[in-house]
Amino acid sequence: MEELLELTKKQLRFQKIITAFLAFIIVMLLAAGVMLVNQMNRMSVAMNEAVEKLEQIDIEAINDTISGTQEMMQSIEEFQGAVDDMTLHVQEFDGWLSGLFGRN
């Protein structure tokens, strides 16, 4: 009977150790949960600030700028074509003058 009582005391001590360990794990999980919620709140605030800043960007002005840049590039291409044509005419005229005065 005394052996049974001794075995029961050992089991009770072992269960107390397990219970304390489980309580420690629960406390740690709760602390981690609180920290996670805190981080999520900070992330939420940061995301809201980012969304507000993105909403302030004037997309129409950007599109107008891009459109103006494209028109300017087209004008530059037309000007470049005109310069190329003028260069060709000057070279032809130079060739004609060279032929006229006998220069080769």
Angle at 60 between CA 58 and CA 64, to 5 degrees: 125
pLDDT at 99: 77
Q: What's the mean pLDDT in 72-87? A: 91
pLDDT at 32: 96
Which two structure tokens, joined as six digits, stand for 26?
């629960």
pTM for this model (two decimals): 0.47
CA distances from 36 to 31, 44, 92, 96 (A): 9, 12, 79, 85
Q: How confident is the model at residue 103 (pLDDT cuts 50, 70, 90)?
A: low
pLDDT at 104: 55
Question: Which tens digits make up the pLDDT trace of 14-59?
Answer: 999 999 999 999 999 999 999 999 999 999 999 999 888 888 887 8
